[in-house]
Amino acid sequence: SGALSMWGDRMWHFAISVFLIELYGRNLLLTAVFGLVLAGSVLLLGALIGDWVDRNPRNKVAHASLFIQNTSVTVCSIVLMLVFSYKEQIELIWDGWFTVICYTVVIILADVANLASTALTIAIQRDWIVVITGYNRGHLAGMNATMRRIDQVTNILAPLAVGQVMTLASNVVGCGFILAWNLFSLIVEFFFLSRVYRIVPALSVKPPTVEGDQEYLERSERRGLQGMGFLWNAALFSASVFTENEKKQNCYNVLKFTCMDGWRAYYRQPVFLAGLGLAFLYTTVLGFDCITTGYAYTQGISGSLLSLLMGVSAITGLMGTVMFTRLRKSVGLVNTGIISSCLHLGCLLLCVCSVFAPGSPIDLSLLMPYFSSGSSAEPGGMASKRQKHTYPLSGGSNQPLLPDRSSIHWTNNTVLFDNVPSGTAPDSYISIILLFLGVITARIGLWCFDLTVTQLLQETICESERGVVNGVQSSMNYLMDLLHFIMVISAPQPQHFGILVIISVIFITTGHSMYFLYAHRAKRKHRLET
């Protein structure tokens, strides 16, 4: 079930980005809006999604999330097929405003699918597998590693599969392929999840949430929120009739305090620093996303070589999952995180070296304004010499930006970089070699660390708060990912990329430092208890 779900997610995330680019005349505006909507919605609603997962039976949460996700993708695929087939006619309706409506519908449906996917991921990968493994730490580590391996493989193969369909046939056929896959996957996943739910009786048992409602009522009364405690109690346990304004106000306050309580629950967790450290790792350009691969393309690296490097990075990611299971057995979970953090940071030093290596296009005048006027006045200065290694991007300096780092956007680089000159190359490839050598080898430590923090969250968070805390963790991840795109928007030129690398390493170092602090506290607590 997990493999089918991940395969569908990877296909959809890749395809929707390409579809939006094609719809808007190979411009990245729609894709950027889509990315911001996705990040903003999970950031705002992550705690509510997690709270919903906690408060409802596991089978109903899984089935509802699965149905909403696949139905949204199916309807969105139908809309896209109609838009691609009748685009010229649609553009004539209402002076083009009907086209805007279609784009809005597509983005909203895709966002709903992503929210449902987030709920399903929290339910299955953060809750179900903990219960299925019987809270056995060794089995849980193996299950987490297996799920991550499946994710790594589908991250490569699924976009390639749908990309081939779209290339050999058309976008309409690609939409039809995704539509058929989601209908098939919905039925099979529904059957598999129902089967697992019947096989594992413990999944049908969840801690009651009425106590939590009573705590909320008492806390509201203590805060002096007039009428709020009464409204909350009546909304949950009676059928009293309110006016429309009272209902809206009650709903707003319930949602607000659900979010606030979710963030408080996240903050008071013993693994808060570890989770926050993991979120900091999302503020980086040092990954195989559209930004890094787009930068490599401007440095003369071909799309075929980028695809090969992407495959190698997937292999090193799988190596990280193997290292996680073995290290956890030999040195323990907390020490596994320390070792993987050191390995991750050590490999990223190669990326820092690439910033100052021969062939790097970095313009240090951005860091030293004092010298900026002098370097600009000398045509043969360092900045102008370094800039000869970069190529202008078609459509503006912000061209490489794409919103979803989990998709393999490099497969459509030929679309995004039409005007990159062929046959030219930088004077030295040392910088780009060091960059990708660091990024690829760092995947081992990165995925090992990710699995470590994931299992710490699973083992430490109490069952009644597992959903809401993981929902807030998803919100934090998206928040830090948003910062990563703001960084690139602020410094979009290839000459700025070296500065982005340095900032990324600073964020990553900060994240690992938070984990080191958590590990120190956890070990000290363990010594005191023993």
Q: 216-266: per-residue pLDDT in tens?
A: 344 434 444 444 443 334 344 443 444 445 444 555 555 666 677 778 888
User: What pLDDT, in 10s, does the model give residues 90-113?
Assistant: 777 777 778 888 888 988 999 999
* Cα–Cα distance measured from residue 473 to residue 470, given in angstroms and rounded to the nearest whole number: 5
What percent of the chain clears pLDDT 70, i.e. is strictly above it?
A: 75
Return the pLDDT at 166.
Answer: 79
Q: Which residue has the higher pLDDT, 495 or 342?
A: 342
Range 1-205 classified under CATH 1.20.81: no
What percent of the chain clears pLDDT 90, i.e. is strictly above it?
A: 27
Q: Which residue has the higher pLDDT, 76 or 391?
A: 76
Confidence of residue 167 (pLDDT cuts 50, 70, 90): confident
User: What pLDDT, in 10s, does the model give residues 354-381?
Assistant: 988 888 777 666 555 434 444 444 444 4
Return the pLDDT at 364.
Answer: 61
Full-model pTM: 0.73
The answer to whether 45 and 52 are in contact (CB under 8 A) is no
Tokens of 138: 């060794």
Average pLDDT over residues 142-154: 88
Confidence of residue 47 (pLDDT cuts 50, 70, 90): confident
User: In sequence order, what are the residues at sequence separation of 6 or more whose Cβ sits closer than 8 angstroms to the Cβ of residue 451?
Assistant: 141, 144, 145, 148, 320, 321, 324
Confidence of residue 70 (pLDDT cuts 50, 70, 90): very high
pLDDT of 151 strictly over 90: no
Average pLDDT over residues 399-420: 35
pLDDT of 451 strictly over 60: yes
Return the pLDDT at 251.
Answer: 55
Confidence of residue 324 (pLDDT cuts 50, 70, 90): very high
* Cα–Cα distance measured from residue 57 to residue 47, given in angstroms and rounded to the nearest whole number: 18
- Average the pLDDT over each of 33-47, 220-234, 300-314, 399-413 and give the range with the smallest value: 399-413
* Cα–Cα distance measured from residue 109 to residue 103, given in angstroms and rounded to the nearest whole number: 10
- Average the pLDDT over each of 68-82, 233-247, 293-307 and give the range with the smallest value: 233-247
Confidence of residue 212 (pLDDT cuts 50, 70, 90): very low
Return the pLDDT at 387.
Answer: 41
Confidence of residue 450 (pLDDT cuts 50, 70, 90): very high
User: What pLDDT, in 10s, does the model give residues 500-529?
Assistant: 899 999 999 999 999 999 999 998 888 887
Return the pLDDT at 198.
Answer: 92
The answer to whether 138 and 455 are in contact (CB under 8 A) is no
Return the pLDDT at 370.
Answer: 38
- Percent helix, strand, coil in the chain (nearest 5)? 80, 0, 20
Q: Radius of gyration (Cα) for the chain, nearest Å?
A: 25
Return the pLDDT at 194.
Answer: 93
Return the pLDDT at 360.
Answer: 78
* Cα–Cα distance measured from residue 128 to residue 203, given in angstroms and rounded to the nearest whole number: 7
Q: Report, at the CATH architecture level, how domain 247-363+413-529 is classified.
A: Up-down Bundle (1.20)
Q: Domain boundaries in the chain?
A: 1-205, 247-363+413-529
Based on DSSP, count helices (H) and strands (E) in the chain, helices before strands: 21, 0
Return the pLDDT at 170.
Answer: 81
Identity at 341, one-letter amino acid code: S
Confidence of residue 405 (pLDDT cuts 50, 70, 90): very low
Return the pLDDT at 493.
Answer: 76
* Cα–Cα distance measured from residue 333 to residue 137, given in angstroms and rounded to the nearest whole number: 9
Return the pLDDT at 25.
Answer: 66
Q: Which residue has the higher pLDDT, 169 or 188?
A: 188
Q: Please calculate the CA angle 443-445-451 and round it to the nearest 5 degrees.
A: 100
Return the pLDDT at 407.
Answer: 33
The answer to whether 282 and 42 are in contact (CB under 8 A) is no
- Top-confidence range, 252-266, 439-453, 482-496: 439-453
Q: Which residue has the tokens 């299925």?
A: 132
pLDDT of 165 strictly over 80: yes
What is the number of alpha carbons within 13 Å of residue 109 lying toward its C-beta?
19
pLDDT of 422 strictly over 70: no
- Average the pLDDT over each of 150-154, 243-247, 449-453 and give the range with the smallest value: 243-247
Q: Do domains 1-205 and 247-363+413-529 have the same CATH topology?
A: yes
Question: Mean pLDDT over all residues of the chain?
Answer: 77
* Cα–Cα distance measured from residue 301 to residue 306, given in angstroms and rounded to the nearest whole number: 7
